[in-house]
Amino acid sequence: MLVVSAVLVAFDFQNLLSWWHGRLLERADHGTSDYTIVVPLFGHPRYFDGRSQIECYRDNVLVALEVTPPHMAVFADELEAEGWRVCRIHLEQPNPASLMHLALAAVTTTYALRLDADTHLDTGLDRIVAAVAASGADICSVKVEADRPQTAAAKLQALEYRMAMLARHYRPWMTSGACFIGKTESLRIIFAHHSLWTPGEDIETGRAAHALKMKIRHADFVVTTEVPATWRGLFNQRRLWWAGTFRHTIVNVDRNLLHLPILTGYMLLVVYATIEFRWWSMIDWRNLPKELPLVLAVYVFVTFISNLQVRSRWMIVFPLYSLTQSLVMPLLGAIHYVVLARRFGSVGRYRFGYRRGLHQVVSRANEAKRARRTVVGNVVVVEGWEIRRDTLGAWAAVPKERPVGYGEIDVDVAGDRPDRQALVDLRLEVAFEGAA
């Protein structure tokens, strides 16, 4: 028990490692415009109401818009009238990862960013992309902070975000869905190995890059995102997050134990310690009112020392906020995961292999060379996909069967030449020449 306790306490000090900047990228002295900002958008136009915040980057923005609902198709026309580039996508069950996956086929720049519709960019993006290019990184996480927190719930989240971003200094693969930067070709490979299962799809992007042994860095660039202002909104958000945590930690425990043994071992140790030691039976309820303030004071000290770079007076109550989450949300998250898995008809298993490295990509490329392709009139069939050409010469990639997360992309609107299209399949990347 003493050993377990020592390990758990040691992990509470892990953010001291954030003082090491070996994987941190600062802004370059010069900039580059060789990047595309992909904004996945589905459900309702209101999620993109704050687009004026990124107006200065409009020429570099591509809105990956799910246009099956009529009101979203109308919104696509409105965005184009305003001067935004729109990639129209049809999906039965859209999510940010699946939209990003399909929209990458329309990106022609060397670098691409994913940016949530409710996330705002700082100035100097061109210089941080230049720094990423100079480093040779395949993918970079960035710093995500709460946008203008006003309520107590939002201010505690603001501190939580800033503390979490320190961990990216030594675990840069922990990508946030709010924003990340990567080489376009590397991102295409990553999403070819992505389950496209949500929640937890954001960190899975970096997780797949880690499994493929790509070069991963953390860009010292801040984006701000909207956070729940109420406790009810926070509860709903964290229930989703903890469902994603359950998927990563328990459902995919085999690969995580192989690839990330220390972090995964710690997570399992917490679960083991909870069950084995039955901490709830060790509490002296009569003395709890006297002992709890001391315990909280110790964790305030640990929180302050470990996160000195982002110190705040909210650290006084943060341990109580964190303790409440850790006691309540894991079980609720696991239950919500089961609900989502039944709804999606899928458990969200990783699609990359047990063995780390880019050999997985080479294997699938060889499989692509052996793929049978059939051309019948204006239809090209490639491994379960039909790439159709209409009477105007526009091409669209449509899967014969529509599994969760995959759909149809209008490549003509995306801006590709009608005689060539790069397509990321469910199982492999296939580059083909269209029929003449």
3-state SS of 79-147 is HHHHCCEEEEEECCCCCHHHHHHHHHHHCCCCEEEEECCCEEECCCHHHHHHHHHHHCCCEEEEEEEEC
Same-domain check for residues 193 and 225: yes
Give the orientation angle of helix 152-167 with respect to helix 231-246, to 10 degrees.
Answer: 30
Same-domain check for residues 122 and 150: yes
Same-domain check for residues 72 and 211: yes
Answer whether residue 112 is part of any domain: yes
For 277-294, what is each residue's pLDDT tens digit? 555 555 666 776 777 788
pLDDT at 18 over 80: yes
- Name the token pair of 172: 């840069």
For 198-248, what is each residue's pLDDT tens digit? 999 999 999 999 999 999 999 999 999 999 999 999 999 999 999 999 999
Answer whether residue 238 is part of any domain: no
Residue written as tokens 């100035």?
A: 123
- Name the token pair of 129: 């992309």
Same-domain check for residues 306 and 368: no
CATH of the domain at 213: 3.90.550.10
Neighbours of 257 (CB within 10 A): 13
Same-domain check for residues 27 and 144: yes
Q: Are 23 and 216 in contact (CB under 8 A)?
A: yes
Answer whether residue 245 is part of any domain: no
C-alpha span between 47 and 53 (Å, rounded): 13
C-alpha span between 207 and 256 (Å, rounded): 9
Answer whether residue 349 is part of any domain: no
Same-domain check for residues 276 and 388: no
Q: Are 306 and 167 in contact (CB under 8 A)?
A: no
Answer whether residue 354 is part of any domain: no
Chain-centroid distance of CA 267 in Å reads 20
pLDDT at 11 over 60: yes
Of 233, 266, 291, which one is at a domain's C-terminal end? 233
Q: Which domain holds residue 428?
A: 359-433
Q: Is 207 left (phi over 0), alpha (psi -120 to 50) or beta?
A: alpha
Same-domain check for residues 220 and 123: yes
C-alpha span between 295 and 309 (Å, rounded): 23
For 395-412, what is each residue's pLDDT tens digit? 444 544 444 344 444 433
Answer whether residue 32 is part of any domain: yes
C-alpha span between 136 and 110 (Å, rounded): 12
Kind and range of the H or E element at 202?
A: helix 201-211
Same-domain check for residues 189 and 104: yes
Same-domain check for residues 221 and 152: yes
Please state the domain count of the chain.
3
Q: Are 68 and 91 in contact (CB under 8 A)?
A: yes
C-alpha span between 393 and 408 (Å, rounded): 17
For 295-338, what is each residue's pLDDT tens digit? 788 889 999 999 999 999 999 999 889 888 888 888 899 999 99
DSSP codes of every residue in 357-400: STHHHHHHHHHHHT--EEEETTEEEETTEEEEE-TTS-EEEEES
Answer whether residue 352 is part of any domain: no
pTM exceeds 0.85: no
Answer whether residue 243 is part of any domain: no
Could you tell me the pLDDT band of residue 257, with boundaries at 50, 70 and 90? very high
Same-domain check for residues 53 and 180: yes
Same-domain check for residues 217 and 69: yes
Give the orientation angle of helix 184-192 with respect to helix 201-211, to 10 degrees.
Answer: 100
Same-domain check for residues 213 and 255: no
Q: What is the pLDDT of residue 434?
A: 30
Of 177, 205, 233, which one is at a domain's C-terminal end? 233
Across the range 414-433, mean pLDDT stands at 33
Of 233, 265, 292, which one is at a domain's C-terminal end? 233
C-alpha span between 285 and 294 (Å, rounded): 15
- Name the token pair of 330: 């894991």
